[in-house]
Amino acid sequence: MAKILVVDDSPTQLTNLVKMVESQGHQAITASNGMQGIEQARSEQPDLILMDVVMPELNGFQATRKIAKDAELSRIPVILVTTKDQETDKVWGERQGAAGYIVKPPKERELAAMIARVLGGA
């Protein structure tokens, strides 16, 4: 079982992602924006982060870049889960340090496979 931080400013999306994560046997913790996500990552040290992109204050691309460049947090992989479905968005997300990219709404099987791949089959 992994500890997975779910970061999304939409309460509905947050709830749906938490349900999917927990149905796979993982522990879910949450944050409702990029800044909170970074703070939660620092205090909780999750195994993985599911990050929305379109959020107020600090968007998911910016938060992912900060996590990837932070010595204390850079070991935590980030999967972007977003409505942004253009190939350029995916490439940009990977350039910010994302380990994966899923377009919303995620299919549970697709999310489970991505989580397993990023966690190395855990």
CA atoms within 13 A on the CB side of 54: 9
Mean residue pLDDT across the chain: 96
Cis check: omega of the bond before 105, within 30 degrees of 0: yes
User: For position 117, what pLDDT does the model report?
Assistant: 96
What per-residue confidence (pLDDT) applies to 59? 97
Q: What is the pLDDT of residue 29?
A: 98
Indicate if the pLDDT at residue 121 is higher than 70. Answer: no
Q: Give mean pLDDT, residues 101-106.
A: 96
- Please state the pTM of the whole predicted model: 0.96
Tens digits of residue pLDDT in 42-89 = 999 999 999 999 998 899 999 999 999 999 999 999 999 999 999 999
**Spatial distance between the Cα atoms of 22 and 6, rounded to a whole number of angstroms:** 11
Q: Which uninterrupted H or E stretch holds 43?
A: helix 34-44
Q: Is the pLDDT of residue 97 over 60?
A: yes
